[in-house]
Each structure stands twice: as C-alpha cells, then as structure tokens.
Amino acid sequence: MIRFEPSFFLERNREIDDVTLRAIAREVRKDILKMTTAVNSGHPGGSMSAADILVTLYYYKMRHNPENPKWEKRDRFVLSKGHSSPALYSVLARTGYFPLEKLKEFRVLEGDLQGHPSMLTTPGVEISTGSLGHGIGAAVGMALALKLDRSDSRVYCMIGDGEAQEGSVWEAAMAASHYNLDNLCVILDNNNLQIDGPVDEVMSIYPTVEKWKAFGWHVIEINGHDFKEIRNALDEADTVKYKPTMIIAKTVKGKGVSFMENRAEWHGKALPPDLLREALKELGEVT
Amino acid sequence: MEKVSLRDAYGDTLVELGREDERIVVLDADLSGSTKTAKFAKVFPERFFNMGIAEINMMNVAAGLAVSGKIPFVSTFAIFGTGRAWEAVRQTICYPNLNVKIVCSHGGITVGEDGASHQALEDVAVMRSIPNMRVIVPADDIETKQVIRKVAYTEGPFYVRLSREKFPRIFDESYKFEIGKGHVLREGEDVTVISNGVMSSFALLAAEILEKEGISVEVIHMPTVKPIDVELVVKSASKTGAVVTAEEHSVVGGLGSAVAEVLVENYPVPMERLGTPDVFGLSGKGWDLLHYFKLDENGIIEKVKKVLARKK
C-alpha cells in the first residue's frame, strides 16, 4: 500500500510521479467496486471516471491536512456530482482522513459514509451534496468567502456532464465570472453518459467549450485519464487572473474495467460478486 | 394603531449588525430595493452580493459562505426564496444544518396588486416541513428588529417572513422576543386566539369587541411557528377549552396546522383555523385583500363564535 505522512499534503504541487498516481488510482478503483458490491448499491460508473482527477487533486494539487480537516489554510474540494461518493471516500481514507476500514460503512445503516457525501458524518467532506446542481453554487460561496478573507486558498469542484443540464449550474457559472473568482476551478467529468443514456441523446450540453467561454470562464480541455494533462490543467488554473477556470475532462464511464467502460448500465448499479472478482483481476488484484 | 414597516426595520437592523460583526454578509436576488437589503449594500458594498434573478444559486452560495464562517442573510420575495429555491434550501442549507438566515419580504396576501403569482401563502408550510429549519413570523417593527438580532447570533438556519405592507405596531420597547416562545398579549377565560404576523393586531381588536359582548378572549402572539411553544398552547387550551388560529397564510400547513398538531397530540379541544382557504390569491390592494378573505377582526370574531358553539 502506498502511504504518505500527513505532512506530505500541506503544500501544493507536491513531488509525485504519474506512475505513483496511477497506482493509487488503481487502488481507488478497487475500493469503489468493493464498496458498491458489498452493499449492492451505489454508483460505480461515474466514480471510476472521476478517480484519476480526484487522486491528482488530493495527492498532487490541493493543500490539505488529513489530521486537521478544518485547517484554515486548506484548499477546498466540493464533489457536486455527489453520487461519485465512493471515489471521494476512498481518496479521503487513503490520504488519512479516516481508516480504510471505515469504507465498510458506505451506505450502511448508521454508518458514517452516507450514500451521498454528508459533511456532518464524514471528515474531509466540505459540504453535503447529492442533489445535482447545488455543489457548484456552494463552491462559489466558498470562493467568495475566501476572497473576503483575503485568503490564498483555492476552491476545486467537480460537476457531472448530466448535472450540467441543471439550470442552477449556469446560475453559478454566471455568478463565478461576475465576481471574478480566479480562486475557483471546476472540473467537468465529461464521460458523456447519464442514467438514461448518452448525454447528447438525453439532453445535449454541447458545445461545452463555447458555452463556458461565453459565461466568462477560462476553459481548458483535457483527457481526464492522462495524469500529465490533469496536472498541467490544474497548474494552468493557478495562473489565471480575474476568471474562474473550467477544466473539461474527457473521461470514460467505468474506466479501468473493460466490461464496464462506456456502459450507462453501470451508472447506478453495483457489480455482482462474480463480475467483481473479474474486475479486480483486471485491476491487478492478486486473489 | 400606528402602522410600521417590517422591511425597513429589517434593513436598519442589518446595517447595525454589519457594523458590529464582520461575519455578516447579505445576498439578494435583484430585489434589494424592495427587501431593504439595499440599506446594507450602501454601507457595506464589499459584503453585499447581488446574485441576480437566480434564487437557487443564491441559496447555494449562501451555504458556501456559511460553511466558510460567514453569517449570510439571504433575501428576496417570500414566494421565490421558499418556493423556487425550496430544494436548495433543503439540500444545501438545512441538511448540513448551516448558519444561513433566510429573511423574505412580501410574504402573504398583502403583497397586493401583483396578485397570486407573487403572494406567498404556502411559505410557512414548506419551510416548516424541513428538518433543522426554524420559522418566525413577526408582527411589527419592534419585534422584527429583535428577531433579526436573535437569529443573527443563534447558530443554524432560520426562515423569517416579513410583509410588504406596513402593519399596526403592537409592541413597545419592553417587549422581549424569544425563539420558540409565544407571547400572551391579553389574558382571557373563554377562548384562545393564537396568531402571528399582521393577524395579531386583528386578534387584539377582536378581543376588545368580544369583551363588550361578554366573551373573554386570551390572545397569544406566536411568532415562532417552528419550534412552536407547545407548553403555552396546551396551558392556554386547558384554561379556555377552545382555540382559534389566525394567520396571513393558507390554512394548509401553517400556524393553524402547527397548533392543531399540538392540540391533537396533547390536549384536544374544539379548534377553528382562520387563514386563506386552499385557493390562490387575487390582485387588489393589500388591506382590501385582507378584508376580502376575512383576515381581520370580523373573521376572527366569526371563528370565535363558531368554536364557542362547538365548545358547548
């Protein structure tokens, strides 16, 4: 298991190579599948597509303190697409917010890991999310507060592509550029699948680059599974002045397991135990 | 009775609070002139955020500010703050139990000429239904000032409902507002009238008229609809044996429903509810609408007589 001292996370842009990030992401993917299968519930597909970005944020980019989740100087992360909670919980556990053992409490009665992130029960969760279209607005509020306090902390937020159909996402987009929130960086997990099928068939959100640019954002397009591109985009966002940054990350739903990739059916369905064994084998788990 | 503006009292109190505590921030949705948050905006432009006509986002942004240690006051018309934004209030403010104060103006039928689309007659009901949310409907400017101060420094989410119209002043400076406590405006023996908002002034008028007819009315002003003052409701009902509620809100789900729940579970007595019936409002002058829907002393007197007939 790959472990770091809690102090490792206190500064931004830490030295960590892509091979290590990839290895961590593989562990996170295994966690996601195990957690959801254990309770036969949850959203593995979008958690898998988000995994590489979350790992890069928590292991490379964000300044945070697993020993003191409310540390004043921390950067904030809001998982607006709250159904990808397994990915977040795994990353929080692996960076030291709580023991890995706790992942067993996912979606279990009286467990601390609610189906969708709850700030009241899970350390490291900045604000409760789950209903789509709200987290990005809360991230705007956090960014405004940090500006008022003249803090150099940054706010990161991940939204889903299906989520971008919510009007409140665009209300938040408008507000973020209106208030010149250059301390806000939003990542669009663009796996192009939602429960009912492809995003462009259910309700197209495209063209995304033009839309976000028109809303006054600095827009970067990347492959959301290429660690170099994720890193570079996050670094570029640091340098942008007077504008929020939108990173449109092309991703693959179910990424990492051949029979899950690009299949809408794994949006909100756990793998049955036999398929879990197969998936874990693909992810390199020795059984 | 002198008529006073609750909205102005709110705006003035915000400015006072802004001076004494840097954590106070104010958000509005393009109605700051009407809600009177413009008073705060003028003095503290850096801590005022006009979020435009985008109420859902305004609630979410307020949540983000609250979780970052600010004390956000969020204002718009009651129908938008509680109706359009209900789910954001539920998910992002109340579920995490955040320190956001939603103070909406233009509640109730007295919104007037703008008509049904703008008259919030369901706001108390829908806000009351959310866990962690506390709901307050003040009666006049003196109470409004105290309410705003109190909620500013009491942790957690609140909904405070103000009006557009000026209301008769019923309190003097000796009044002391407490969250979750009703206030006995007048003691009586035969029937209890429980009211809030503008209806408390009508309840006092009705009690005076009824006294001349030999009917002794206990008038309780109940600003906090949630948590409601169970003890006082039960105490008064057990004394008088009959209860009438009066509110500038639908009879569905508001103060009347809250009092009914308390009575049924603790001390059932005959009860009548005065409010707008289960219908939408109409355009008209605010005070004309009150009389049109019998939300006045005559409406209360009618309900009192009805409940007394049932009491026998």
What DSSP element (H or E) covers A230?
A: helix A227-239
Whether B161 and B50 map to the same domain: the answer is yes
- Name the minimum distance, in Å, from the CA of B61 to any CA of chain A: 4
Assign domain A19-282 to its CATH architecture: 3-Layer(aba) Sandwich (3.40)
| pTM, rounded to two decimals | 0.97
The one-letter code for the residue type at A188 is L
CB pairs under 8 A between A and B: 107
Whether B108 is in a domain gets the answer yes
Are the beta carbons of A81 and A51 closer than 8 angstroms? no
| A116 → chain B, closest CA residue | B91
Whether B94 and B61 map to the same domain: the answer is yes
Whether B192 and B159 map to the same domain: the answer is no
Q: Nearest Cβ partner of A144 from B49, B59, B97?
A: B49
Whether B13 and B161 map to the same domain: the answer is yes
Is B287 an 8 Å CB contact of chain A?
no
Whether B25 and B135 map to the same domain: the answer is yes
Map out the domains of chain A as residue ranges. 19-282
**CATH number for the domain harbouring residue B82:** 3.40.50.970
Whether B163 and B187 map to the same domain: the answer is no
Whether B282 and B239 map to the same domain: the answer is yes
Q: So what's the ipTM on this one? A: 0.96
Whether B196 and B106 map to the same domain: the answer is no
Report chain A residues touching chain B, CB-CB < 8 A: 118-120, 126-131, 133-146, 148-149, 167-168, 171-172, 174-175, 178-179
Are the beta carbons of A159 and A187 closer than 8 angstroms? yes
Whether B82 and B55 map to the same domain: the answer is yes
Tell if the CB–CB gap between A168 and B88 is shorter than 8 Å. yes
For chain B, 312 residues long, give each residue's pLDDT as a single digit of tens: 899 999 999 999 999 999 999 999 999 999 999 999 999 999 999 999 999 999 999 999 999 999 999 999 999 999 999 999 999 999 999 999 999 999 999 999 999 999 999 999 999 999 999 999 999 999 999 999 999 999 999 999 999 999 999 999 999 999 999 999 999 999 999 999 999 999 999 999 999 999 999 999 999 999 999 999 999 999 999 999 999 999 999 999 999 999 999 999 999 999 999 999 999 999 999 999 999 999 999 999 999 999 999 997
Whether B299 is in a domain gets the answer yes
**CATH number for the domain harbouring residue B275:** 3.40.50.920
Q: Which residues of chain B have a CB within 8 Å of the CB of A126?
A: 67
- Name the minimum distance, in Å, from the CA of A169 to any CA of chain B: 8
Whether B301 is in a domain gets the answer yes
Q: Which residue of A127, A129, A169, A178 is the best one to mutate when testing the B interface, meaning the one whose CB has the most B CBs within 10 A? A: A127
| A155 → chain B, closest CA residue | B64
Whether B97 and B208 map to the same domain: the answer is no
Range of the domain at B47: 3-168
3-class secondary structure, A195: coil
3-class secondary structure, A24: helix
Whether B199 and B163 map to the same domain: the answer is no
Is B166 an 8 Å CB contact of chain A?
no
Condensed to tens digits (0 to 9), the pLDDT of residues A74-123 reads 999 999 999 999 999 999 999 999 999 999 999 999 999 999 999 999 99
Name the domain count of chain B.
2
Q: Would you please indicate which residues of B are annotated as catalytic (active-site) residues?
A: 55
Closest CA to A21 of A61, A74, A65, A49: A61
- Cα dihedral sign, A241-A138-B158-B154: negative
Whether B139 and B221 map to the same domain: the answer is no
Whether B174 is in a domain gets the answer no
Q: Nearest Cβ partner of A141 from B54, B65, B87?
A: B65
Closest CA to A244 of A159, A157, A162, A164: A157
Q: Which of B122, B138, B168 is the last residue of a domain?
A: B168
Q: Which of B133, B168, B203 is the last residue of a domain?
A: B168
3-class secondary structure, A254: coil
Whether B177 is in a domain gets the answer no
